[in-house]
Amino acid sequence: MKKNIKLILVIIFIIIAGILVLFANNNKHEYYIVEYLASYNTYNVLDSTKKYEVIETKRDFSSLVSKIENLKSYQNIFTNNFFKDKSLLIVEAGINTEIANFKYSGKNIDLTIYCDSPLTTVDKNYKYDLYIIPVSKDLEDINVEILSNPDKLF
């Protein structure tokens, strides 16, 4: 009888652990962060007035690589084959960033990033973060917010 109870407890534990692993994997999404050195006057690398852009072709990605040297290593990952099925959401996130909220469901993405906002008028170089997020070609709704980190005062 005790062996049956132990066996049932082990099975229940395995089932719960499996559910937790599946739940954790469903909420995680792959993304890359690329740092680049720039000033307030030169950090914009995207052609759009927004802080993000969806890249749908290898040619567009290569154009971005020509602006940021640190992206060259990603050319082996984001090939023509990659762009057949997916696109890239590129986000200019700012200085010393962290993700506060990230929800992606195939057609919708909701992303909030906190960044440092030093109060300076000096044209000094900082390390800026560029987020590269593989997304579906079916992406319809993009909500990207880049906010000053509420936990830091300058």
How do residues 63-77 score in pLDDT, each as one tens digit? 888 888 888 888 888
pLDDT given for residue 108 in this prediction: 92
- Of 123, 104, 115, 117, residue with least CA distance to 145: 115
Token digits for 113? 């990033």
Higher pLDDT, 82 or 70: 82
Query: How much of the chain, in percent, has pLDDT values that exceed 90?
Result: 34
Average pLDDT over residues 126-150: 90
The pTM of this model reads 0.76
Rama region for 146: left / alpha / beta (φ>0; ψ in -120 to 50; rest) = beta
